[in-house]
């Protein structure tokens, strides 16, 4: 078989299969197999399953491998099978319609179709058949790309292609995680090598320390768009360099920084080699921040001054941070960065320190990738409302002396791709009761009110089917564990009696990091025993997840869960499933009754597994952290309570008590209170779906990115670089001038009537007398109109103290670049005790009010 992807992006890909000889009637099968659109179209998945259902399950639902390994005689038979041909034609009709129908982006931004958005991510999770993801970050990136395709957003993904993926997880008889490496054959995965017009492999080269690493480019077709992945495992590279794209998140810091250089620098080079007109660069976490260094180099080669080059990169970059703790941000020793960029720094010696300054930490001799991203991206965001707040607190000092709420880091809350994660049976049910265009308009909350029209019997019956399917899959997973570990036949067969579709079933599945506290429920085994073994109202738990091979505390959590699951009183009622992947995740989020999540707040930046569960009527029971802090409304799930101000030990005690109390007093009674058809439980399922589905989906999320970051960034950068970079040069020069002269700015005097001649009270509001305040400021060489002079005080509201910012107006110029300002404030406020005055630079061309971390206050 031969196959190729031509240089370019979109649907011009050719599939010249010279030796497969598919019958004419089914010759477009490869077109479907090589586009991961199949992964979110149930009819396409069923079409491939129909070829050989048993084989389909064995090969992780990989349609390319199915095509390659199927006997040619089967194709002849299928080409005469009316049932298969009918489904084939139906899927092709859907696929052709998908590609040709007008999209949201085309209708909303028809004038912005000329440029692409580059989306850089260290991992992408599209489907279990392409295992180059480890967890939430990758699944989010995959869902982001899928919705971008659905919405018609011209987005191009950039990542690395890992020969060994992450790892397959095996659990041995001691409960220890065993990481099994698998070497993947790229010719049997849904991806294509990119070729030049001459039929050669398209390659780019990256300077890595004292050598050059060559990278081949592979293409993953994602609906209307493409994701390009870089591969170092090619002849000509050293054995060490060939392993750089061997495994996701593997190895030491040398491997980590080398991978991030390949991703950032190599990713930009790939975009150029592909001739893709790219105007916006979205960095999904700091791993790809080195893209800024390469793009600055490009500008220098074109004769652009360094400070102007930085401004161009800032204006065209968007940065999403996912990590709510400082220790989670990649930081490398300075000599290591100097080594890996030695060729660049030798070429541009005069700019080395300026480059390094972009990533330096203030208090440590480290080069921080998040600092690099913050310094080179004008628009930044966290991934939930709470995480945005945490990020602003974390990086407040980075932005000068301002209130944390003013730090220019926003938030766009994560979502999940509905078509990927919604059970097909539920989709059919929703089709019957929701308006016909509900999937295309899934962000419309009014549309989801029709969920209430679904009969409880129908919803519960489908949920029951999904639960039974999960239990069958879980038993098969456990049987395979035991068989592989050479347990006796009776122990293998014992699993057939594990779990019950009648029992309240709680799922906990995610990466086993210590802050996620997978073992929190085990803090009181006596109460757990009473819950699990209640003869009338039993509860059962399913756990799944991987710990990083270097995370020994996380692996110990797995061993603890396993040990508890093997105790006589819990056997068959608490189970640990191995090798958590997208396939297992679908069974879990569609089949359990309750989704449990109990991280240490606020360490869960967003979390998306609970969102997947919510789409399927599974009810969330979670700490008010990440997305659940804003999604929970008191009636669509349950919160795990605890004092946020207490120390960790007390919080853990309070969280544990809250889990058991709510299970015992609320959740278990609600589930069992009405026999075989729990109407009140079904009502809460509907409430969960209706309130959460229209908000926590990636259509809404990607629309937010487009409206709030992509389009503003696109318009701003095109405006700045117009007229031979005139505007961006002025902005860069202005910033340089302000930095050099800000030390001249001084607040000479603030007069509020209490430190000098009192000003009489003024009545501007019948309820509150006011007074005039003046501030006298020397600006030096800086023009006073290029600053904002503001008076800041705090007022108490029901949710705490909030800053009130009053713009001061210039009253008169006093000479020698001294200007007096005035403002009116409540008369009881006194300078220093209650309010302060500040000055900071502003420009109509800035992306935010505090783009420069320069604030003078008194």
The whole-angstrom separation of Cα 80 and Cα 86 is 11
Taking residues 723-747, report their average pLDDT.
96
Taking residues 244-269, report their average pLDDT.
94
The mean predicted confidence, pLDDT, of the chain is 93
Complete domains list, the chain, with CATH: 15-100 (no CATH), 113-381+704-725 (3.40.50.2000), 418-696 (3.40.50.2000), 745-857 (2.60.40)
3-state secondary structure (DSSP) of residue 122: coil
Residue 764 has pLDDT above 80, yes or no: no
pLDDT given for residue 644 in this prediction: 83
- Phi and psi at residue 81, to the nearest 5°: -90, 110
The tens digit of pLDDT for each residue in 322-340 reads 988 877 889 999 999 999 9
pLDDT given for residue 796 in this prediction: 87
Report yes or no: 699 and 443 within 8 Å, Cβ to Cβ.
yes
Beta bridge partners of 776: 749, 820
Q: How confident is the model at residue 3 (pLDDT cuts 50, 70, 90)?
A: very low
Q: What percent of the chain has pLDDT over 90?
A: 88
Report yes or no: 497 and 572 within 8 Å, Cβ to Cβ.
yes
The tens digit of pLDDT for each residue in 509-551 reads 999 999 999 999 999 999 999 999 999 999 999 999 999 888 8
The tens digit of pLDDT for each residue in 34-88 reads 999 999 999 999 999 999 999 999 999 999 999 999 999 999 999 999 999 999 9
Indicate the range of 141-145, 148-152, 850-854 predicted with least confidence. 850-854
Neighbours of 369 (CB within 10 A): 25
Neighbours of 450 (CB within 10 A): 15
**Which of residues 759 and 216 earns the better pLDDT score?**
216
Neighbours of 236 (CB within 10 A): 10
Q: How confident is the model at residue 591 (pLDDT cuts 50, 70, 90)?
A: very high
Element (H, E) at 601: none
pLDDT given for residue 431 in this prediction: 96
Q: The tokens 């899928």 sit on which residue?
A: 146
CA distances from 673 to 458, 619, 635, 757 (A): 19, 17, 17, 74
pLDDT given for residue 20 in this prediction: 65
Indicate the range of 373-377, 506-510, 572-576, 649-653 predicted with least confidence. 649-653
Tokens of 384: 């939930």
Residue 10 has pLDDT above 60, yes or no: no
The tens digit of pLDDT for each residue in 262-299 reads 999 999 999 999 999 999 999 999 999 999 999 999 99
Classify residue 4 by burial, with Cβ atoms within 10 Å: 0-12, 13-18, 19+.
middle
Taking residues 584-611, report their average pLDDT.
96
pLDDT given for residue 13 in this prediction: 56
Indicate the range of 14-23, 180-189, 451-460, 680-689 predicted with least confidence. 14-23
Tokens of 756: 């000098």
- Per DSSP, which regions of 546-668 are E strands? 574-577, 594-597, 619-623, 637-640
pLDDT given for residue 11 in this prediction: 42
**Which of residues 8 and 504 earns the better pLDDT score?**
504
Residue 768 has pLDDT above 80, yes or no: no
Taking residues 477-488, report their average pLDDT.
95
The whole-angstrom separation of Cα 356 and Cα 345 is 10
Residue 164 has pLDDT above 50, yes or no: yes
pLDDT given for residue 6 in this prediction: 47
CA distances from 548 to 129, 160, 176, 272, 555 (A): 21, 19, 13, 34, 8
3-state secondary structure (DSSP) of residue 704: helix
pLDDT given for residue 856 in this prediction: 96
pLDDT given for residue 17 in this prediction: 44
pLDDT given for residue 443 in this prediction: 97
Please count the CA atoms within 13 angstroms of the CA of 658 that sit on its side-chain side. Answer: 19
pLDDT given for residue 760 in this prediction: 52
Q: How confident is the model at residue 165 (pLDDT cuts 50, 70, 90)?
A: confident
Neighbours of 544 (CB within 10 A): 26
Residue 756 has pLDDT above 60, yes or no: no
Indicate the range of 464-468, 600-604, 689-693 predicted with least confidence. 600-604
Neighbours of 97 (CB within 10 A): 9
The tens digit of pLDDT for each residue in 779-818 reads 999 999 999 999 999 998 888 888 999 999 999 999 889 9
The span from the first CA to the last CA of the chain, in angstroms, equals 73
The whole-angstrom separation of Cα 546 and Cα 296 is 38
Residue 476 has pLDDT above 50, yes or no: yes
pLDDT given for residue 277 in this prediction: 96
Q: How confident is the model at residue 2 (pLDDT cuts 50, 70, 90)?
A: very low
pLDDT given for residue 16 in this prediction: 44
Taking residues 187-210, report their average pLDDT.
95
Smallest Cα–Cα separation from 827: which of 761, 754, 758, 755?
761
Residue 742 has pLDDT above 70, yes or no: yes
Residue 18 has pLDDT above 70, yes or no: no
**Torsion-angle region of residue 725: left (phi > 0), alpha (psi -120 to 50) or beta?**
left
Q: How confident is the model at residue 767 (pLDDT cuts 50, 70, 90)?
A: low
The whole-angstrom separation of Cα 362 and Cα 368 is 10
CA distances from 697 to 29, 616, 617, 627, 693 (A): 30, 13, 14, 12, 6
The whole-angstrom separation of Cα 282 and Cα 263 is 13
pLDDT given for residue 754 in this prediction: 65
The tens digit of pLDDT for each residue in 369-414 reads 999 999 999 999 999 999 999 999 999 988 888 889 999 999 999 9
Tokens of 386: 């709470």
């Amino acid at each position: 078989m031969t196959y190729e992807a031509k240089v370019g992006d979109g649907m011009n890909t050719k599939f010249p299969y010279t030796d497969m000889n598919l019958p004419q009637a089914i010759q477009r099968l490869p077109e479907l197999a090589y586009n991961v659109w199949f992964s979110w179209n149930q009819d396409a998945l069923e079409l491939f399953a129909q070829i050989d259902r048993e084989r389909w399950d064995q090969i992780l639902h990989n349609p390319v491998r199915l095509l390659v390994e199927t006997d040619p005689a089967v194709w002849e038979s299928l080409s005469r099978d009316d049932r298969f041909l009918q489904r084939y034609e139906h899927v092709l009709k859907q696929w052709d319609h998908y590609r040709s129908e007008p999209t949201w982006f085309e209708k909303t931004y028809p004038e912005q179709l000329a440029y692409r958005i580059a989306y850089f991510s260290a991992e992408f999770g599209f489907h279990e058949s392409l295992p180059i993801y480890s967890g939430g970050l990758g699944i989010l990136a995959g869902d982001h790309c899928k919705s971008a395709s659905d919405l018609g957003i011209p987005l191009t993904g950039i990542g690395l292609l890992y020969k060994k993926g992450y790892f397959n997880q095996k659990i041995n008889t001691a409960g220890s995680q065993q990481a099994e490496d698998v070497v993947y054959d790229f010719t049997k995965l849904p991806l294509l090598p990119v070729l030049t017009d001459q039929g050669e492999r398209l390659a780019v080269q990256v300077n890595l320390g004292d050598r050059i690493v060559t990278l081949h480019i592979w293409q993953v077709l994602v609906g209307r768009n493409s994701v390009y992945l870089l591969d170092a495992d090619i002849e000509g590279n050293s054995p060490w360099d060939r392993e750089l794209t061997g495994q996701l998140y593997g190895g030491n810091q040398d491997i980590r920084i080398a991978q991030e250089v390949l991703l950032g620098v190599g990713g930009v080079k790939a975009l150029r080699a592909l001739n893709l007109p790219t105007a916006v660069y979205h960095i999904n976490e700091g791993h790809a921040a080195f893209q800024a260094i390469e793009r600055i180099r490009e500008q220098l080669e074109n004769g652009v001054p360094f400070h102007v080059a930085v401004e161009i990169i800032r204006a065209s970059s968007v940065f999403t941070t996912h990590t709510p703790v400082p220790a989670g941000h990649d930081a490398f020793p300075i000599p290591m960065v100097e080594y890996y960029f030695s060729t660049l720094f030798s070429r541009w010696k005069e700019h080395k320190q300026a480059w390094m300054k972009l990533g330096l930490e203030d208090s440590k001799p480290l080069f921080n990738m998040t600092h690099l991203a913050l310094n080179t991206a004008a628009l930044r965001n966290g991934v939930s409302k709470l995480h945005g707040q945490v990020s602003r607190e974390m990086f407040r000092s980075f932005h000068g002396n301002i209130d944390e709420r003013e730090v220019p880091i926003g938030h766009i809350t994560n979502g999940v791709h509905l078509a990927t994660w919604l059970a097909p049976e539920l989709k059919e049910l929703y089709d019957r009761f929701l308006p016909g265009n509900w999937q295309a308009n899934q962000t419309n909350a009014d549309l989801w009110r029709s969920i209430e029209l679904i009969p409880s019997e129908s919803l519960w019956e489908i949920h029951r089917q999904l639960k039974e399917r999960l239990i069958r899959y879980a038993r098969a997973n456990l049987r395979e564990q035991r068989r592989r570990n050479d347990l006796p036949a009776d122990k293998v067969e014992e699993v057939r009696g594990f779990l019950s579709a009648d029992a309240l079933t709680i799922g906990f599945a995610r990466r086993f990091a210590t802050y996620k506290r997978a073992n929190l429920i085990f803090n009181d085994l006596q109460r757990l025993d009473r819950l699990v073994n209640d003869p009338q109202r039993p509860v059962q738990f399913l756990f799944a997840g991987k710990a990083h091979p270097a995370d020994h505390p996380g692996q110990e959590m797995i061993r603890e869960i396993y040990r508890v699951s093997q105790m006589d009183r819990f056997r068959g009622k608490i189970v640990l499933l191995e090798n958590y992947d997208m396939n297992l995740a679908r069974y879990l989020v569609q089949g359990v009754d309750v989704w449990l999540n109990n991280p240490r707040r606020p360490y869960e930046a967003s979390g998306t597994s609970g969102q997947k569960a919510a789409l399927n009527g599974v009810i969330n029971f979670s700490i008010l952290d990440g997305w659940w802090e804003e999604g929970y409304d008191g009636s669509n799930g349950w919160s795990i309570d605890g004092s946020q101000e207490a120390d960790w030990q007390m919080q853990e005690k309070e969280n544990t008590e809250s889990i058991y109390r709510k299970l015992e007093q609320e959740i278990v009674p609600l589930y069992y209170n009405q026999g075989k058809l729990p109407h009140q439980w079904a009502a809460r399922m509907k409430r969960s779906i209706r309130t959460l589905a229209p908000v926590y989906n990636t259509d809404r999320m990607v629309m937010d990115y487009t409206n709030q970051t992509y389009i503003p960034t696109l318009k701003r950068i095109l405006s700045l670089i117009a007229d031979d970079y005139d505007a961006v040069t002025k902005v860069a020069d202005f910033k340089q001038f302000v930095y050099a002269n800000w030390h001249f700015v001084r607040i000479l005097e603030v007069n509020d009537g209490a430190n000098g001649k009192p000003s009489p009270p003024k009545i501007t509001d019948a309820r509150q007398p006011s007074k005039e305040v003046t501030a006298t400021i020397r600006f030096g060489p800086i023009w006073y109109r290029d600053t904002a002079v503001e008076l800041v005080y705090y007022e108490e509201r029901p949710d705490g103290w909030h800053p009130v910012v009053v713009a001061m107006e210039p009253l008169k110029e006093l000479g020698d670049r001294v200007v007096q300002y005035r403002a009116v404030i409540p008369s009881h406020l006194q300078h220093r005790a209650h309010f302060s005055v500040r000055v900071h630079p502003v420009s109509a061309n800035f992306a935010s009010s505090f783009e420069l971390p320069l604030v003078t206050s008194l």
